[in-house]
Structure 1
Amino acid sequence: MPINYQGLALPVSKKLADALNYIITQNDITSDSVTINFRDPDYSAKNGGFHPVEIRLEKRNDVWEFCYITDFCYVGRGFTAELAKDLDFDFQAGVFQNLFGVFPIEQATDIYQIWEANFLHTHKNIRPFDEVIL
């Protein structure tokens, strides 16, 4: 089943859509929604690493649609550090959120392109993920 990546408020690439479609196909997802989590088990507030990422897709008219893409990071230091949204591209609500506030999603075009390129580079060998929520 295809993933709609064209005509969105942000320039989602075919490469990202194909990678996510591969994951959905390999895991035989048959529900009407899926939340895919990418996690680096070595990521920590102290040592850094690759940020956890969550991507939600919902099926509409036999096509997967993007709901949101959220990138998380640790905020704070030491034992008070907690995982928080770093970048949140919410396609359904039409907003972009970062640590500085909430903005119209169209204002996130440049940062989205940088984020996506980094994400695809980090996950160039897409592998089974830690968690899928149906």
Structure 2
Amino acid sequence: MSHIQYEGLALPVSKALADAIVSIIPKNVDNDVITINFRDPTYSPESGGFHPVEIRLENRDTIWHFCYITDFAYLGMGGLAKELDFDFQAGVFQNFLGIYPIEQASDMYQIWEGNFLHYWQTMHVYKLNISS
């Protein structure tokens, strides 16, 4: 079984999120990097919906590590843009207002993660695509 390093990170990633992601990682991944895309097929600039989310993981010594978690949103009627970007590797948090040290996003991250898990695990709004 896979394991995701979630303790000791700059943000309070929960065991619940780590366990949920581990449960969807394919058993025989051919690559040391995977990207998981969560998409609400009905999300559009006209009708709204649940924001697309992308999570990238890197495998080091049989343990998966978070590279980034990005939440996308439409900017008006334009294309998708990063609304929230938690970049564990670079140690930064980015939103529409700017780029900050990742530690400053702790409170926002906890709210985001709780909502995301609810949408994914309880409401089942996302279609998943895993690529390596």
Tell me if both proteins adopt one fold, taking TM over 0.5 as the criterion.
yes
Kept in 1, the 8 Å contact 2:40–2:127? The answer is no
Unmatched tracts of structure 1, length 5 or more: none
Take 1:86 and 1:127, find their aligned partners in 2: how far apart are those partners?
19
Kept in 1, the 8 Å contact 2:51–2:72? The answer is yes
Take 1:62 and 1:92, find their aligned partners in 2: how far apart are those partners?
18
Shift of 1:128: 8.5
Shift of 1:130: 3.6
Amino acid at match of 2:84: L
> What is the TM-score normalised by the length of structure 1?
0.91
Shift of 1:28: 4.0
1:7-46 to 2 correspondence within 5 Å?
7-25=8-26, 28-46=28-46
Kept in 1, the 8 Å contact 2:40–2:126? The answer is no
Take 1:117 and 1:21, find their aligned partners in 2: how far apart are those partners?
17
Count matched residues: 130
> What is the TM-score normalised by the length of structure 2?
0.92
Take 2:105 and 2:126, find their aligned partners in 1: how far apart are those partners?
29
Q: Corresponding residue for 1:131?
A: 129
Identical amino acids, percent of aligned pairs: 61
Question: Any idea what SS the aligned residue of 1:117 has?
Answer: helix
Kept in 1, the 8 Å contact 2:52–2:71? The answer is yes
Matched, 1:64 2:30: no
Take 1:128 and 1:29, find their aligned partners in 2: how far apart are those partners?
22
Pick which of 120-129 and 107-116 moved more: 120-129
Amino acid at match of 2:50: F
- Alignment RMSD: 1.7
